[in-house]
Amino acid sequence: MAGTPGPDPPADGGGEARPAWDSKLQYLLSCVGFAVGLGNLWRFPYLCQTYGGGAFLIPYVVALAFEGIPLFHIELAVGQRLRRGSVGVWTAISPYLGGVGLGCFTVSFLVSLYYNTVLTWVLWYLLNSFQHPLPWSACPLDLNRTGLEQECRDSSPVSYFWYRRTLNVSADISDGGPVQWRLLLCLAVSWAVVYLCVIRGIETTGKAIYFTALFPYLVLTAFLVRGLTLPGAMQGLTYLFTPDLRVLQNPRVWLDAATQIFFSLSLAFGGHIAFASYNPPRNNCRRDAVSIALVNSMTSLYASVAVFSVLGFKAASDHGQCLDRNILHLINAFDLPEQSVSRDTYTAALVRLNASQPAQVAGLPLEACRLEDFLDKSASGTGLAFIVFTEAVLHMPGAPVWAVLFFAMLFSLGLSSMFGNMESIITPLLDLGVMPRRVPKEVLTGLACLLCFLMATCFTLRSGSYWLEIFDQYAAALNLILLAFFEVIGVVYVYGMKRFCDDVAWMTGRRPGFYWRATWKVVSPLLLLTIFVAYIALLASSPPHYKAWNPRYERFPSRQEKPYPGWVLAACALLSFLPTLWVPVVALGQLLARCREKTRDPPQDGRPKPRGGRAC
């Protein structure tokens, strides 16, 4: 944008001006939507619950202050200043660092594939929520119509619907099985919706984001209000938020807090760089970074309160049903009048009967019903959304309405994150000029979505969910940490701290203070390196295995732990290192190209002429 001449504005390549946000709000909502995703809902509450409730907030805030916000500020500042997508930005900083951008691009591509598959599952559940009774409330009959389907009877209707009716999961990862046509249809619709919103880049996502970023907050509030009025909610909240400060001694807690902040803010994808590149050059990116990071964390907290209140209700309801089953056994065995034993008098009655007729009591199949056991049943990820929460929704009055709201919320949460992912793929492609200028943007986005859809069909196989876990664990985690490390090092040491601080001062009007400089120079890189090493140590400590759903397993419905076969391990290794491999490959390539140039044209005036920084 030719206007106030800043220090060396980069050429936009002539032709059309860069697209811009309609308003600051659109930009903020897009970043918030990208950062706030499914993980805020189903990973953070689980971590809170596992790591001593409120005590987990301490390492979380520490990680936010020393890792999350500084890295986020770097991404926004770099994108806004250099006004290019991830590939262009890193190539502009230094041609040797072009691989970082390509690595981010590859990781975004891999993540888009499996992230939209999760949205496919959410869409399938959403489509099935428009009926009463909900299809996961009861087991289907078996072939003879004499009883219930055995697999469902042994596990539960909710698990059966998830593993059999939705995924139709195979018992082993090598057993691929045919493509599930239902999931394929839902996958097609998911990608069609993504294409519809991303079709013209930020022009269309900017309109869609108003709905997809704000709708989840409405639904969360509805769930919060409803959840708090349900019986058992307060017990759930107090139990799950009571801090247990002893967990802070466990280094695993700090590692998980750091990784949670990192992935929660969607750093190192290149999406924030792409979003910031459409900003006007003089925009206070520091304030944006801090506010978006805080909004993201507040959303996580808000979501956990809503989730915990519903889970507390579910635990209380399950506990009550457990007691009811025991009471029924007692009154049936001893022919006591109906409703003579209530939930409160159950223990007294049991003691009395045990004293008088211990042999008969011992023969009854009584379960041990403790509320804490039900509250401790925690789950994260797909287990929380598709098994635990769907079961909780069954007990709520007006279950189909709540199911529709819940899955619509999940879908829009995931969709707004997909916008960021697709932007981090499309913006670099546009900047690199992959397609000739005459070809409209719609064709490029269409081709990108089509390619992703075709490749994602492998997740609709019967073993698709196992592959998704692999992608989630290996393709994303390690690469993002390494790429973020290279990002910080690249900006601070290659671009130069002084030059970067000058740029930030020009953009925001104030030079970065001591906190920023200290975290960028020392704290964040060290933290990232520590996380990387700890992560590798954790992965190497146990041979990689997965949990298979095998109805023929002796301890069914527990999932059977199986090791990965050799070829799958090779695929894991490939996924873990391929994206980051771009960094040394491009650096070496540039080095070789320079050496060849130097030997071919010896410099005339003894001074090597630095050429343009495009990697192409």
Residues of this chain that bind another protein (CB under 8 A): 2, 5, 8-12, 14-17, 92, 124, 127-128, 130-131, 140-141, 145-147, 185-186, 189, 192-193, 195-196, 199-200, 204, 331-332, 335-340, 440, 442, 612-613
Least distance to another protein, CB of residue 12, Å: 8
Number of helices and strands in the chain (H, E):
28, 2
Are residues 226 and 396 in contact, defined by beta-carbon separation less than 8 angstroms?
yes
Specify whether the CB–CB gap between 419 and 32 falls below 8 A: no
Q: Least Å distance between CB 57 and another protein? A: 39
Q: Closest distance between another protein and the C-beta of residue 356, in Å?
A: 16
Quick count: other Cβ atoms within 10 Å of Cβ 348?
10
- Closer residue to another protein (CB): 179 or 295: 179
Nearer to another protein, 141 or 537 (CB): 141
Cβ distance to another protein smaller for residue 86 or 260: 86
Block residue for tokens 């059999």: 164
CB of 5 to another protein, least distance (A): 7
Which residue, 131 or 229, has its beta carbon nearer to another protein?
A: 131
Shortest Cβ 336–another protein spacing (Å):
6
- Two tokens, residue 46: 């689980």
| Of 94 and 473, CB closest to another protein | 94
Q: For residues 176 and 613, which CB has a smaller minimum distance to another protein in the complex?
A: 613
Task: State the Cα–Cα distance between residues 207 and 220, nearest whole angstrom.
Answer: 22
* Residue 10: CB minimum distance to another protein, A: 6
- Residues 497 and 599 sit within 8 Å (Cβ to Cβ): no
Closest separation in Å from C-beta 476 to another protein: 28
Run of H or E residues at 175: none
The answer to whether 419 touches 208, Cβ cutoff 8 Å, is: yes
Contact 409, 220 (CB under 8 A): yes
Shortest distance in whole angstroms from residue 181 CB to another protein: 11
**Is the Cα dihedral 149, 155, 161, 164 positive or negative?**
negative
Q: Which is nearer to another protein, 336 or 585 (CB)?
A: 336
Distance CA 15, CA 431 (A): 12
Paired with 561 in beta bridges are: 547
End-to-end CA distance of the chain: 24
Q: Read off φ and ψ for residue 546, nearest 5 degrees.
A: -135, 165
The number of residues in the chain equals 616
Q: Name which of 199 and 224 has its Cβ closer to another protein.
A: 199
